[in-house]
């Protein structure tokens, strides 16, 4: 337990599985990324940006670790998030496919606009005289 505390890693990472269940191991995996790997990655990014890029290069480029893949979660949670983003119009099919490492599709850069989402006042002006 002391090793885990020293390195800020969850106990399951160093093999202590006394009270481990699927749900708390999943939470600990996220904690490993957020509390241990992300701060380490930030320090490495800063050092690499300073050492590898010129002052002019830093105006256009930067080094960044993408830890999103480690935080993706289970397939059901991802697909539910994609469905919500797609239905509400802030995700396109090609964006979703890109995150799942799938090829782009034709017309996959289009966004949906929910039919029931209109500006206030436009509903009334769009009605015919005989409507409710």
With respect to residue 52, please indicate whether it lies within any of the assigned structural domains. yes
Q: What pLDDT does 131 receive?
A: 52
Kindly state whether residues 33 and 55 are assigned to the same domain. yes
Kindly state whether residues 65 and 77 are assigned to the same domain. no
Q: What pLDDT does 47 receive?
A: 97
Number of domains the chain contains: 2
Q: What pLDDT does 82 receive?
A: 93
Q: Is the pLDDT of residue 103 over 90?
A: yes
- What pLDDT band is residue 69 in, cutting at 50, 70 and 90? confident
Instruction: Share the mean pLDDT of the chain.
Output: 82
With respect to residue 101, please indicate whether it lies within any of the assigned structural domains. yes
100 within 8 A of 92, measured Cβ to Cβ? no
- First-to-last CA distance in the chain? 68
Kindly state whether residues 82 and 105 are assigned to the same domain. yes
* Residue 88 structural domain: 72-119
Q: Is the pLDDT of residue 127 over 60?
A: no
Residue in 16, 34, 35, 37 with CA at minimum distance from that of residue 25: 16
Kindly state whether residues 76 and 62 are assigned to the same domain. no
CA–CA distance, 4 with 19 (Å, rounded to integer):
15
Kindly state whether residues 48 and 14 are assigned to the same domain. yes
At 12-67, the pLDDT tens digits run 777 777 876 766 777 777 888 888 889 999 999 999 999 999 999 999 999 999 88
Q: Which residues contact 87 (CB under 8 A, 6 or more apart)?
A: 112, 114
């Amino acid at each position: 337990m002391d090793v885990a505390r020293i390195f800020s890693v969850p106990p399951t990472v160093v093999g202590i599985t006394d009270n481990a269940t699927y749900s708390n191991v999943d939470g600990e995996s996220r904690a490993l990324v957020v509390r241990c790997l992300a701060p380490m990655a930030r320090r490495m990014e800063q050092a690499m940006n300073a050492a590898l890029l010129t002052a002019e290069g830093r105006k256009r480029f930067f080094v960044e670790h993408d830890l999103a893949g480690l935080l993706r979660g289970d397939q059901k949670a991802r697909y539910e998030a994609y469905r919500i983003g797609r239905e509400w119009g802030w995700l396109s099919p090609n964006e979703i496919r890109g995150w799942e490492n799938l090829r782009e599709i034709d017309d996959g850069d289009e966004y949906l606009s929910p039919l029931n989402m209109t500006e206030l006042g436009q509903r009334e002006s769009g009605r015919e005289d005989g409507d409710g």
